[in-house]
Chains A and B, each alone.
Chain A
């Protein structure tokens, strides 16, 4: 918050660079988990930072100064990424299981099959599975990024893993 205050008071470029360096990796991981593409994740993170500069004063004074920049940015980037996902796919109901779509070309290895199955998961379940099993995050860390409680993350993960187990395309992979 001190860095953001320095930016507000003096337009300090150093403070801006420090904020970006400090938060970009985490934000990119979250955005990538939601969007599945590096370029789209970069766009979502950029949008999050632009909103931060525009609302810097509100972030500093918001909630009596108890807001954290990381939490605020994470929420903004997550919402931006989810908006991009919704724009990308016209009718994505949140809890609707995506219909299995054969990936381009025939996946020759297990990893491709698995990722194709993960891509078919609903948004929240997909993000939770990726953050949990690819990035190794704890429930509360995932909840921090998704705006959910740890218990809720557990439920979401349980549903996501259940869908993956039930996915017929993974029948030959799972032991």
Chain B
């Protein structure tokens, strides 16, 4: 029913025939396109492979870092943190004494101060309160003398103690340069205004002078001269 008339079919078959092959220009274009597409695909594959490799390396690094963090605690990775830690370590190595002093608790027992101070003058061997006590506003003159004496006990007494086998006094405190300076000034001031008793005056001045041994500089030299002058004064 749907078939065309045979005469028309014959006419159609005598119509323009389709080409059976690509002409040379189209064929060369097809071959060139094939090569270009293959090279593009290969470049894409290589890029993908490189990306995969980079991703694998990153994943391995992250996994390693995570495992290390789990077993060894957090790892310092920030550059400023690491630099600060290294700087602190260097400072510790450079200044061990200062670092040790910094880490020492405030209520730690005090260290003995100067041990070998040649002092011919005798001094009372009273082990009494300290520089803090001497520096208080209502300091008694005797306390000042005690504080000055405490800084450096008389050499004769120390020698006697050593000969007798007695232990060295352990209650001496290192009051520092400023502490010794302040004590010496207080002793000098007390001696000048007559607050020191005559029996305590000379030993206290001598002890204050001894306490300045080893210290150099304008304030110490001036104070040393004033103490010597006070000692010579009646």
- Give the number of residue pairs across the A-B interface with Cβ within 8 Å: 115
In whole angstroms, what is the CA distance A111 to B19 when docked?
Answer: 19
Question: Considering the complex, which residues of chain A in the window 61-119 have a beta carbon less than 8 Å from any beta carbon of chain B?
Answer: 110-111, 114-115, 118
Residues A46 and B30 in contact, CB atoms below 8 Å apart: yes
What's the least CB distance linking A4 to chain B, in Å?
Answer: 11
Asked if A158 lies at the interface with its beta carbon under 8 angstroms from chain B, I say: yes
Residues B12 and A114 in contact, CB atoms below 8 Å apart: yes
Q: Please tell me which one of the listed residues A8, A50, A110, A135 contacts residue B11 in the complex, with CB atoms under 8 A apart.
A: A110
Residues A130 and B2 in contact, CB atoms below 8 Å apart: no
Asked if B91 lies at the interface with its beta carbon under 8 angstroms from chain A, I say: no
Residues A11 and B39 in contact, CB atoms below 8 Å apart: yes
Residues B4 and A133 in contact, CB atoms below 8 Å apart: yes
Residues B13 and A25 in contact, CB atoms below 8 Å apart: no
Cβ proximity bits B17-46 to A, threshold 8 Å, 1 near / 0 not: 011111100110111011111110110000
Asked if A7 lies at the interface with its beta carbon under 8 angstroms from chain B, I say: yes
Number of interface residues of B (CB under 8 A): 34
Asked if B218 lies at the interface with its beta carbon under 8 angstroms from chain A, I say: no
Q: Please tell me which one of the listed residues A7, A54, A134 contacts residue B12 in the complex, with CB atoms under 8 A apart.
A: A134
Asked if B3 lies at the interface with its beta carbon under 8 angstroms from chain A, I say: yes
Binding site for B on A (CB under 8 A): 7-8, 11, 13, 16-17, 20-21, 24-25, 28-29, 31-33, 36, 38, 41-43, 45-46, 49-50, 53-54, 56-57, 110-111, 114-115, 118, 129-130, 133-136, 154, 157-158, 161-162, 164, 170, 173-175
Binding site for A on B (CB under 8 A): 1-5, 7-9, 11-16, 18-23, 26-27, 29-31, 33-39, 41-42
